[in-house]
């Protein structure tokens, strides 16, 4: 398929971008409120769980790629 053959619905794309931006801002508000209403220890534990799982996933993916 050539780039000239790709059809993009600009209205649909703009709606998606607007919705995505709104969801991102809502999440930022949610997280800022969570940090304000929970102790540092509490939200730090949550962050550690996420970061550790991402690192573990990246290591697993790297090992998988080496086997290929």
**11-25-46-53 Cα dihedral, nearest 10 degrees:** 30
Any idea where the domains of the chain sit in the sequence? Answer: 3-67
Per-residue pLDDT tens over the stretch 4-56: 888 989 999 999 999 999 999 999 999 899 889 999 998 889 889 999 999 99
Q: What is the pTM of this model?
A: 0.57
Measure the CA–CA gap between 37 and 50, rounded to whole angstroms: 19
Contact yes or no for 43/34 (Cβ under 8 A): yes
Tokens 């991102």 locate to: 24
């Amino acid at each position: 398929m050539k780039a000239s053959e790709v059809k993009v619905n600009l209205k649909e794309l703009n709606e998606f971008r607007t919705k995505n931006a709104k969801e991102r801002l809502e999440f930022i508000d949610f997280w800022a409120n969570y940090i304000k209403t929970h102790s540092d220890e509490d939200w730090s534990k949550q962050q550690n769980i996420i970061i550790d799982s991402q690192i573990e996933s990246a290591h697993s993916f790297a090992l998988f790629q080496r086997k290929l």
